Amino acid sequence: MFNRITAVREQRGLSRQEFAAMVGVHYQTVGYLERGEYSPSLALALRISHALDLPIEDLFSLEPPVEVDAAASARQS
């Protein structure tokens, strides 16, 4: 499973400790999640989605995230 927790958390200016408090887990659990060493339960995934105000499918996927190459996108336009 792949996730965007780190990117979104950092965009929001949240530390691991702050984010952990928001979702009700230990900050080390957030680290395990972000590194992909631990897959969240459905309940925890939903709490993360709610805390970050994003649909669950925007945070978690079975496929690695596709990086958008800005230059390639510009050439296609």
Cα–Cα separations (whole angstroms), residue 45 to 11, 32, 52, 58, 60: 19, 13, 11, 11, 8
- Structural domain boundaries in the chain: 2-57
Q: Under CATH, which architecture does the 2-57 domain have? A: Orthogonal Bundle (1.10)
Cα–Cα separations (whole angstroms), residue 37 to 2, 70, 77: 10, 30, 39
Reported pTM? 0.80
- pLDDT tens across the length of the chain (77 residues): 899 999 999 999 999 999 999 999 999 999 999 999 999 999 999 999 999 999 999 999 988 877 655 444 555 55
pLDDT at site 30 = 97
Q: Output the six-digit token pair for 29.
A: 């659990």
In this structure, what are the phi and psi dihedrals at residue 56, rounded to the nearest 5 degrees?
A: -55, -35
